[in-house]
Amino acid sequence: MSDDAAVSIRPTIATVDLGAIRHNLEVARRLVPGQAICAVVKADAYGHGMNEVGLTLSRAGVEWLAVALVEEGISLRRVGVKTSILVLGSALGGTLFELVAHNLTAAIYRPDQLEALAMAARGKPVAFHLKIDTGMARLGVRLEELDQVLDALDKTPNLVLDGVLTHFADADLADRDFNSAQLRLFEGACRRLQARGYKPKWQHIANSAAVLSFPEAQVGLLRPGLMIYGLDPLAKRRATELVPAMRWTTRPVHLKTVPQGARISYGGRFVTKRDSRIATLPVGYADGYPRAMSGKAQVLVRGRLVPVVGTICMDLCMADVTDVPEVSLDDEVVLMGRQEGAEVSAYDLATWADTIPYEIICGVGARVPRYYVDSEP
């Protein structure tokens, strides 16, 4: 925890198990033996704390880390991460000077970035990865632009093509045919590079879903994100081998008994059908506990699932603990994670909020302090 966070007396916290992070990296290594891994730690390591997770993975020998922003890469360098760092996006204009100064590797996705990178390197050799668009239409050189890029490269000897990558548009492999088509296009692009005399050391396409279940794509460098945090993009429940690294908990700040017919929270969207025991929890949508889950979410207390009732507010929400009458202000309430053999998973929250587990874990708010533990799963 940072010094700032240490003053937090609010009981809403996220506990991140760095042992689980290491374990999940090992799962990836076991699944695809002998392949190097580029662990994706962008977006504050999917909400888990980028510097702590980056250092953990780096000490565990991960070959590469991937971030979205130059700023994220600089942050990792400042805490002493020496591992190769790939900047997947936003390495633009002036930020390329910072990128070179901090020994980060750009994923180049626009032909004009080549000249800018060469300038930022001031004539010295600078390695980069080339991102190809094979069907996501987000970042990446279009296949019809590839020759133009290679022509520019031929004229810029200080640029070293160290890697080539693309990204699956169906992150959960829902459309295998589309994924296979993307893979074929990527292989075709790699062949075109070879034919022009370029032999990048790293070729990479495999996200978590591919590492878990798409052998054809398990080539070169693997680039998993979600599975490093213990979640399987293919499974509604967690895959047995992976261990979710984040547990999100709180404690009630108010307990009260209300009569049958009491309106709970904004708009009276929930009215008690019986005399009820209501626990007010100090977590709300400003903490990343989505308001869209109102009327659907459940939390765990004393190993029992209880419903969150009424509208989820900015800083607070209410749980109906009538069926667990012994609940006290000292009880741990699990918003996400396990308790006494029961679980509320990131998938559960995602289902209630009509979103994906990625958004849930990335969304756990900055004002929720992260505590780090290190267990042996």
Ligand X SMILES: Cc1ncc(COP(=O)(O)O)c(C=O)c1O
Interacting residues toward ligand X by CB under 6 A: 40, 88, 167, 171, 207-208, 223-226, 233
Residue 233, CA atoms < 13 Å, CB-side half-sphere: 23
DSSP 111-165: THHHHHHHHHTTTS-EEEEEEEESS--SSSEEGGGHHHHHHHHHT-TTEEEEEEE
Q: What is the distance of C-alpha 103 from the center of its chain? A: 23
List, as one string, the DSSP characters of 84-105: EEEE-S---TTHHHHHHHTT-E
Separation between Cα atoms, residue 339 and residue 328, nearest integer Å: 16
**SS3 sequence, 6-19?**
HCCCCCCEEEEEHH
Contact 304, 342 (CB under 8 A): yes
Structure tokens belonging to residue 92: 């633009």
SS3 172: coil
The least CB distance from residue 349 to ligand X, in Å, is 17
Q: Identify the burial level of 62 via C-beta atoms within 10 angstroms of its C-beta, where 0-12 means exposed, 13-18 middle and 19 or more buried.
A: buried
Q: How far is the CB of 15 from ligand X (least distance, A)?
A: 21
Q: Among residues 229, 131, 225, which one has the least CA distance to residue 172?
A: 225
Nearest to 108 by CA among 89, 130, 127, 123: 130
Cα torsion through 86, 92, 97, 101, rounded to 10: -20
Whole-number Å distance between alpha carbons of 149 and 171: 27
| Displacement of CA 272 from its chain's centroid (Å) | 38
Smallest gap from Cβ 66 to ligand X, in A, equals: 6
Nearest Cα to Cα of residue 103 among 81, 119, 88, 135: 81
Name residue 263's amino acid.
R
Nearer to ligand X, 73 or 225 (CB): 225
Active site members: 42, 266
How far apart are CB 20 and ligand X at their closest, in Å?
Answer: 16
Radius of gyration in angstroms for the set of CA atoms belonging to the chain, rounded to a whole number: 23
CA angle 220–28–169, rounded 5-degree value: 65
